[in-house]
Structure 1
Amino acid sequence: SYHSRLKEMSKFEEPDILFNMLNCLKILCLHGECLYLARKDHPLFLAYIQEKMLIPSLWSMLKSEFCQLASLAVPQLLHALSLSHGADIFWNLINTNFNSKEWKIRFEAVEKVAVLCRFLDIGAVTKNHLLKYSLAHAFCCFLASVEDVNPAVATRARLLLDTIKGPALQGLCQCLDFQFDTVVRDRPIILSKLLLLHFLKKDIPALSWEFFVNRFETLSLEAQLHLDCNKEFPFPT
């Protein structure tokens, strides 16, 4: 069963064994739709599996030295995030890793997000709101690491940013745009990260005139509504 395969994975470290086990999970998960079926029949058990076993296990597979493992892990991780509870579990996992006091954990988290970004199916990601929400948060934390207080983490983030290909970066910018449009309170941090990316990657139009023009009418309307309600507009001036 899927559950027993997940339990067995934690017992092995050899890449070849893990690769074969991930292949089995891929067949069960993506082709057999076992997680999708579990969402209907056993939602609480699925939430437990996602939080305690599935998402942490797939997250641990995201390493540069084991690209074959990552290539299998990423599609399954994205599938897990698209199901109930997955995005929230991933959000907490990202926060725990990137806000850790241990610089080595932050160092590893930077690598994991970079590897995740390398194997993204951008077409699938941009069609799913939960995936855009999850990846926007992960990429924001990754970009924030460029300014990490630890030089090793900051340097690692800056170097790994250059390993993410243009199409993936453009897709991630779409995720940030989505977060900007849908979560008002996140706008200041999203805008700051888009600005940072704009300076770090000149070839990627993270911020453009169109970005502001396309949102001018919406922002004006929101500002007017807040004024009508005698509230301060939640956007930096």
Structure 2
Amino acid sequence: MSIVSLLILLGIFILPAVSHELGVTRVWQITLLLMSPLFIFGGEAIAQGIARLIKRLQGGCASFQSRHNRLAFLRYPVLVILIPYFVFNSGVVFELTRSQTTHFIDVPYSIALSGYRVDVNTVFVAPDVAGAVWLSARGRDDYPIYADMHGRLAFHWGDDKGFRGTAERRLRMPPFPAQVEDMMLPCYIYFRSWNTSSRMLTFPTGYATRKSIGFDNIPGLTRLVDCGDRIYTNGGAWVLSLR
């Protein structure tokens, strides 16, 4: 397993394009999974070494002479190190503290635990996909489509005529501007269910980081959402048309 982990780590240097798409954090998670048995064996060896050292310092104290007590001593690293490490990295701490820090890597979060509260990853519901399919099939090919960083990915289910691949999708879906006045007209604006319910858009701030910004903080967007031409709605996703 350690050899496989070594090959994976070596691969991110030999194939930098693949490593960029996979992400350093995912590479770390994969190698951690493969190397986890070695951590257990190493922790056991360290604990036994500490136990022998304490035994010598104590002059053969009876509490360290029985096998039962030696095994009990091995549980200490699990209680003190491994369990807190697991709890911290599972996203429980992020959720219990109600943290909303996603614009830089701070406390590990869990999509399952915190996805309802903060837009930490691309999670779609049925209306989101239905709205993207409708727009890719019914919308004009010469109209750009604006969406936030997660909404753009909904168009993986789009019509092949409008989106033949990643390059075509990027050309037709420019980044969402800082203010509505900078949009190319005419155009469409696609909102996911999370956008419409929270009235926020999510933007990238760096590698594996993002920040959600309210409609009110984007000049002109609130008026456009409330009074604009809403050509599609399904109870979750919206599509606005600007001319």
TM-score range, shorter chain: under 0.3
Q: Which structure has the highest helix share of the two?
A: 1
Q: TM-score, normalised by structure 2?
A: 0.20
Task: Name the one with the larger strand percent.
Answer: 2
Is the radius of gyration larger for structure 1 or structure 2? 2
How high is the TM-score relative to the length of structure 1? 0.21
